[in-house]
Chains A and B, each alone.
Chain A
Amino acid sequence: MTTGGWIFMLLTWGIIITILIACYSRIMSDHDNEPDRDDYKILD
């Protein structure tokens, strides 16, 4: 694998993983992520 190949691969992997972690950490830290109790009441 060439040096250019390594740089291209690691850069792409890095960007994808960074976006992935950033998105999921924001979603998980959002308190809205808890199931909505009222909705359960409606369904029950």
Chain B
Amino acid sequence: MSGDRQRWGTKIGVVLAVAGSAVGLGNFLRFPVQAGKYGEGAFMIPYLIALVLVGIPLMWVEWTAGRYGGGRGHSTAPGIYDSLWKKSRFVKYLGIGGIFGPFLIYMYYVYIESWCLAYAYYSLTGQLSNITSSQGFIDFLSNYQGLSDAGFVSGTVPGFVFFLITFLLNMTVIYFGIRGGIEKLCNIAMPLLLIFGVLLAIRVITLFAPDPLHPDWSSINGLGFIWNTDLSALKSPKVWVAATGQIFFTLSVGMGVILTYSSYLRKKDDIALSGLAAASTNEFAEVIVAGAIVIPAAFIFFGPGEIVEIANSGAFNLGFVTMPQIFNKIPLGAMLCFLWFFMLFLAGITSSISIVQPSIAFMEDEFKIKRQKAVKIFGVVAFVLCQPALWFLHRGVLDDLDFWGANFVIVVGATIEIILLAWIFGINKAWDELHLGAKLRVPVIFKFITKYITPTLLLALLIWFFVEDWLDIITMKGVPPENIPYVLGIRLVLVGILLFLAIMVWIAWKRHKSEDKAKDL
């Protein structure tokens, strides 16, 4: 069954592809927002503890389960879960989240990715450097999104054109497959992204304190805002939850993408080493590169008083309003602004192609549809289902999709995944599977952490999220009455997709059964 499967070309290729999936807009926009909100020494200690207790174990769990399932002809969660728990007839349905989650993230992520491409273009044409005020950048963004007509760009047309270009680029990469498309792109985009990031970080840090009126507003004190340790702030459970949440989002764990990518590995590829390499690449991009760009830059030009306010205004405001404003105040700002947005675009595209692959792999593996045809089917369906995020952005559709995709599905998915591997498949078997072909021996303490600590923390996180945040969002508390039909509409679409996937899994396994019977005869 697995003889004609696609394979990665090189080990470095799979590491860069998984790292590319993990290094996304969240590294450069969400991390600084979280570090800024809970800043002044409160965020980094819980963040690093969560990385060791939740992030790294989950990363290894996904690589292990993915390769195991891949060896049995499955690249997506339904088939992989079914391989891990042969006795259960229903576990494959729990794996639907591994296709549903990435798909629904794609429904809005590719649109945000297209903003980055557009802003990179506007940086080069000088349209951004002409704007002088914060309000100017806010107006530019809302005009670009089609929410107002401030005269910067002509309504929704440019937004749609850049979306189309980005969408077609995504489909082209996927069309060429694992080795010819994804691996080739990541081999170029990832080093380029990191070089751009390091250049930006060096430029920001070497600004030191450019304003003689505020000698304390320096890049070094900006770093201090993140790294000075304030142990008293650690008493707040909210900081721990936020830090653990960030680890989730940054490593792309729980959504099923790593399962799919690692399913294309060979039986004796070193997944312990590759998993650690991908995670450390992501941490380099987030903690070192992003941590040295956004907060220090904002600190230099806005001072410590405004950092928390800027962070509270959200990731989009930080990325598309604050950052270009900062670049306008620096020599060669237009070029740096281009580097910033093009770097975000590269981070976006290496992530967005990874969230397409589970849907394609499901069609290839379970329905034997050829990749090129599967890409065409996905392209048509995804193009239609991306439209609500474009046209009803102001109605809260994008925020609702983000909640279900990037919050709910991944936390629930990761909890299911780790319980399945560590408790049902068995931690000893999983440990052996992780070390199959591995030259790197994982410290034995991680066996204990993976079986007891990580699942406990995930369950605690799930309960906390549910009680503190999710209940209000699920019941649409705070949604303006005029937006309710749109939010409800998109939720019905999501339920429809979920039901459709459940039926597809049912049909696929029915076909597998009859194929097996035919073989026996």
Contacts and interface: CB of A to CB of B under 8 A. Distances in A.
Interface of A: 1-2, 4-6, 8-9, 12-13, 16-17, 19-20, 23-24, 26-28, 30, 32-36, 39, 42-43
B41 A5 contact: yes
Given A27-B15, A39-B9, A16 B4 contact: no
Contact of A16 (B228, B274, B283): B283
B12 A33 contact: yes
Contacts of A35: 9-10
B440 interface: yes
A26 to B, nearest CB: 6
Contacts of B274: 27
Q: Which of A5, A8, A12, A24 has most chain B Cβ within 10 Å?
A: A5
A5 B277 contact: no
B12 A9 contact: no
Nearest to A10: B227
Contacts of A16: 280, 283-284, 287-288
A33 B445 CA distance: 29
16 contacts: A1-B223, A1-B227, A5-B223, A5-B227, A8-B44, A8-B227, A9-B223, A9-B226, A16-B280, A17-B284, A19-B276, A20-B284, A23-B273, A26-B273, A27-B274, A27-B277
B7 interface: yes
B407 interface: no
Nearest to B437: A32
A36 B220 CA distance: 47
A9 B281 CA distance: 17
B442 interface: no
Contact of A23 (B10, B179, B280): B280
B361 to A, nearest CB: 17
B244 interface: no
A20 B280 CA distance: 6
B224 A24 contact: no
A24 B220 CA distance: 30
A1 B287 CA distance: 17
B229 interface: yes
Contact of A27 (B9, B11, B220): B11
Interface residues of B, number: 33
Given A16-B284, A19-B276, A27-B273, A32 B11 contact: yes
A4 B220 CA distance: 13
Contacts of B270: 30
Given A26-B439, A35-B10, 17 more contacts: A1-B224, A1-B228, A4-B228, A4-B229, A5-B223, A8-B44, A9-B223, A9-B226, A12-B227, A12-B287, A16-B287, A24-B277, A28-B12, A33-B12, A34-B10, A39-B7, A39-B9
A24 B315 CA distance: 31
A34 B9 CA distance: 8
Given A12-B287, A23-B280, A36 B7 contact: yes
B21 interface: no
B151 to A, nearest CB: 43
Contact of B229 (A8, A13, A19, A39): A8
A42 B4 contact: yes
Contact of B10 (A2, A17, A33, A42): A33
A32 B269 CA distance: 9
Interface string B424-450: 000000000000000110000000000
B48 interface: yes
Contacts of A30: 11, 270
A7 to B, nearest CB: 9
B277 A23 contact: yes
